[in-house]
A = this chain, B = another copy of it.
Amino acid sequence: MIKPRSRRGGGRPTIADVARKAGVGAITVSRALREPERVSEELRRQIQAAVDELGYVPDPNARALASARAEVFGVLVPSLTNNVFAEVVRGIYDSLSASPFRIQLGNTHYSGLEEERLLQLFGSQRPAALIVAGIDQTPTSRKLLENAGCPVVQVMETGPDPVDMMVGFSHLDGGRAATEHLIEAGYRRIGFIGARMDPRSQRRLAGYRAAMEAAGLFDPRLVTTTPVLSSVSLGREMLRDALAKVPTLDGVFCNNDDIALGVLFECHRASIAVPKTIGIVGFNDLDMMQVAFPSVTSIRTHRYEIGRRAVAMALAAIAGNRPDQRVIDLGFELKRRESTDR
């Protein structure tokens, strides 16, 4: 009976096996893999041959322990099913797939406490970089980020006081632009409908309010919100609520496109003409908005690009050249469509 090579370990090849086979020192194998230019052409070839033959794959845990730095990006988002964050995450994954970095994804469920817990957990891994959604971290979280000892990118929003770097856009401006568009289109009793009032939603609401007040149209009864998680069916219910409160409602700025779609369907069902009787504006501009009937005006945001930029900034910082511009505003675009075309 063959004794296992060691009491532990799965018996897979280690760097020492490769070194032996290639007839070099272990450290040279390590270098050949990480900084090939520091090893002579010839040894590099021999080592590569040994690696291929043995099917050697470095153990990331041993690597992280020895170098006190894991090749991991920690990513924290409040939701995995919300299409908006899914796209940011997709941008991050796509940008990192060709690099040696792995991704540690955490779901905070919109909870500050959960965010602290995950930050603590991720920090213990000494990640190469951290990407977190939002700019409203708790003081504890902020401290954890500041002491993380790695590049930090806050995404989705812009603000005056980055922990380190930021990529996003102004939700306040987005909310204002959406509302101003409705006002310009001639709507007057414009409601705000929003679920899951996270800080970004609050800022969109603030933008709505600013625009309405500037036009002398603001009325608190026009605002309908709930802490419940956003969904299409919720949009439908909330339009009903809003109409019950304000029967003369002639426009809605929806906190996001799910809500907007629910509102649109409810209008169909209740035979409310869109855009004639009620105008609708969404937020995020999901693919379906331009296909809907009528197509729905929305604020297009650049989620995928936010993910890509965040990674690019982090990688630059890791490489030692932190960008001069620490806050990048990717802006947004108002997409005018049939739902406000009257």
The closest CB in chain B to the CB of A8 belongs to B68
Interface positions of A from 257 to 291, Cβ below 8 Å from B: 258, 261-262, 265-266, 268-269, 287-288, 290-291
Q: Which chain B positions have C-beta within 8 A of A121?
A: 57, 102
Does A60 lie at the interface of the complex (its beta carbon under 8 Å from any beta carbon of B)? yes
Mask, A144-178, CB within 8 Å of B = 1, is 00000100000000000000000000000000000
Say yes or no for A87: interface residue by CB 8 A criterion.
Answer: yes
Determine whether the beta carbon of A126 is less than 8 Å from that of B90. Answer: no
Q: Is A26 interfacial (CB 8 A cutoff)?
A: no
Distance A254 CA – B322 CA, assembled complex (angstroms): 48
Q: Are A269 and B287 in contact (CB under 8 A)?
A: no
A114 cross-chain contacts in B, Cβ below 8 A = 97
Query: Interface digits, A228-247 against B, CB 8 Å rule (1 contact, 0 not)?
Result: 00011101100000000000
Instruction: Choose, from A103-111, A192-200, A215-223, A324-332, the stretch at the interface.
Output: A103-111
A83 contact from B61, B83, B89, Cβ within 8 A:
B83
User: Which residue of B123, B126, B269, B293 contacts A269 across the interface (Cβ within 8 Å)?
Assistant: B293
Known contacts A60-B125, A291-B265: A80-B89 contact under CB 8 Å: yes
With a CB–CB cut-off of 8 A, which chain B residues contact A224? none
Distance A10 CA – B103 CA, assembled complex (angstroms)? 21
Would B86 and A80 count as touching, CB distance under 8 A? yes
A292 within 8 A of B: yes
Return 7 A-B CB contacts under 8 Å, by A number: A60-B125, A61-B62, A80-B90, A105-B105, A231-B287, A235-B291, A262-B291
Excluding A80-B86, A233-B287, 15 further A-B contacts by CB distance (< 8 Å) are: A9-B68, A57-B121, A57-B124, A59-B65, A60-B124, A60-B125, A65-B65, A81-B86, A93-B107, A102-B104, A232-B291, A233-B288, A233-B290, A236-B291, A269-B293
